[in-house]
Structure 1
Amino acid sequence: MEKSRPFRPGPGDTWWLTLAALAFIGLDIALYVFGEPTTGWAGPAAGVTLQVLLDLSLLLLFRFPRLVAGLVLAGALLMLASDLLSPGLLVPERQLTLMTVPTITPVVLSQLARLMDRRTLLWLTAILVLCASRPWDAHWNTTPFGLLGTALPTTISLYFEARRQLLRSLRDRAERAEREQHLLAERARAEERRKLAEEMHDVVTHRLSLMVLHAGALGVVSADEAVRTSAEDIRREGALALDELRDLVGVLRDGANAGPRTLTDGTAGDPATLVAESSSVGIPTELTVHGDPGRISPTIARTAYRVVQEALTNIRKHAPGSTATVGLRYHADGLDIAVENTRAGAPADPALAGSGSGAGLAGLRQRVELIGGRFGAGPIAGGGYRVDAILPAYVPTAEGDA
């Protein structure tokens, strides 16, 4: 059986316990005023004094449950001894109630199920049941009322305590099953990433390598200067694509162990290179930089490079003949990026515009939000388009810690 967690009372528990103690003190005083006094050597107020002292002990129930239980048990034994050996000493011979144990007994027993072990509680209840029901001298008005004031509160409290523990156990099992399901899903995703990495390495890398080799061979054997220049450009871009593909394959292979932060690992490129490439293919692009790039971590720089790269790629695909501006503002809190283009000056090439997956901006948003940044993209007045990103200066990853 699962071990019960210790009960920690809250402010509400303390308040209602205080109110209960005051209510029982008032009840016992009222019984003393309107009933008969005790007649033994201890005086006429001996019975009410004992009851009020036990009522006050109720305030200590949550802090010292065993002490209060012992006091209630001692009070019940004293009342029983008074009835058997010296009638009228602690209990009036004709009292207004049928209670033959301290009046706070039902309240104490109803709370002890949360405060002490079950075996001790059952022993305590058994003794109080004997004191309250008087089976050796059973009466129709004493025995049933004694059982209702002792056995019934314990039974009800044990039922609710067992139900609470069962619900907590079921909740813990559900949470554990959910965690196990999450781990299985993560394992399945890691296996899919591994298979995808193998396919990319075996197929795409092979094709790109052939492209680079053919471009290099064309640059060597061709007599036309323009052809050699174009072939060299193709070879250089293919080599860069191979480097990017190698990094991506590494991310896919290591993603299961490295976690989400691998999306931004690696060496950051220079956005100025991207601007130069954009201008060289017919999209006049202006770069504006404010602040010190050294303020941001390599992880943030890598993400900024990807934002600018994706934005300029989309401009080349969807807005040929336009002009673009790239603004980078470095400050103590991070980096602000703004990539904006004017209205397209020519129709987009259908083959080029349809070559993407359509998930570029969504992937950028996920990448930016993953490191704690904000991302925005949308059309602007005049028919252009704008991509904004606000990145923090530092992300607490293993790379950033280094």
Structure 2
Amino acid sequence: MGQHPPASAEPGDPGPSTSVSHGHGPVGRWWQLPWLPFWWESRRSMLFDVLVALGYTAAVVLFTVPRDHPFGVPEPAFYAVAVLMGLALIGRRRRPASLCAAAVLATPVLLQVSPLPFFLYALAAYGRRRHLAMLTAAAVLTLAAIFFLPARTGLLPSYALIFFVAGPVLLGLYAGARRAVVENLRERAERLEREQILLRRQARTEERTRIAREMHDVVAHRVSLMVIHSGALEVGAADGERAAEAGRLIGDIGRQALDELREVLGVLRLDEDEEAAPRAPQPTVDDLTTLVEQSRSAGMRIELVCSGPRRPLAQATGHTVYRLVQEALTNVHKHAGNAATRIELRYGPDALRVAVDNEMPAGPVTVGLPSGGNGLVGLRERITLQGGVFEAGPRPEGGFRVAAELPMKEEAP
């Protein structure tokens, strides 16, 4: 029967029209309260209802002289009913149906100064439809009875029904519909804001996962090569030319690792309101030759074979192929030493097949590189996101195999 809080308000939430206070008074605009006071949404609504009630009561008491009342109501009773109904206007939002029924009963006493229009408006705006229908019919019947009584002469003009009933009800229905639309729009805006926050969090999490994969691939492979070359540098320290060549390779590999790390970590320096960082070209299938040569220079036996009609790939697909080969070679460095390795790229009509097979190591591996165990997991996630199929495991004849099948997606112009 009373006014209900907006559907979007949560328990403990001050709502969009209030402000938060911590015991030091209200914070915000002057008409807002730190909580919902009684049944009002804001201080402005409370002040409006109080002013209407006091204004009506003062006008009736000061300017109305109920002499020779048509129904014989004495002046004390008239003023008592007028004051009570005037004060009842304060609670018209809280109990619109009950107070409207009281106003209908008080109409024969107050006649032309009846506050019935105020209560009908409140009932149409804040009450229930079934109560509105019943009390509107009761008000029409009451006013019609007064209109047709012989003693009503000069009391109610012919347009009394419109002024007392139709007008307030229509205005109240309009106000209630408008408030419902505003509440729905506010709820929709809050829901969209929450969804945008969730989408931003999801995008941030996905970007962090991508950065973690990129950093793992960059650091693991480049540092593995640097460790192997540094070991070769220690062994061949007596050979000045070989030592110089190993030192040059270590420097080149270190600079490449730093460049790729700057590119990956540059994304973390952006604020949310800035545009996306301009990224340098990511390594693709065309860079596999350089990757293989760096591993060969560390003493590995690697064979790179390409078959099928070669076609340009989408950047994401080419980058995924590069990272797969890089991770497979890193695992060979860690676990198989200089075991013979074969890299095969097979271009099909609809898919690209990539396989990296290494044989059993000839002896124990003494490089001693750390292993986090997340490289193959990250590869599986990366390839699954591309719509491909990933497999990794020991071969029946010995050694290890890392393979994937990626759909052929040509780069859009």
Q: TM-score, normalised by structure 2?
A: 0.43
- Structure number with the higher helix fraction is 1
Q: TM-score, normalised by structure 1?
A: 0.44
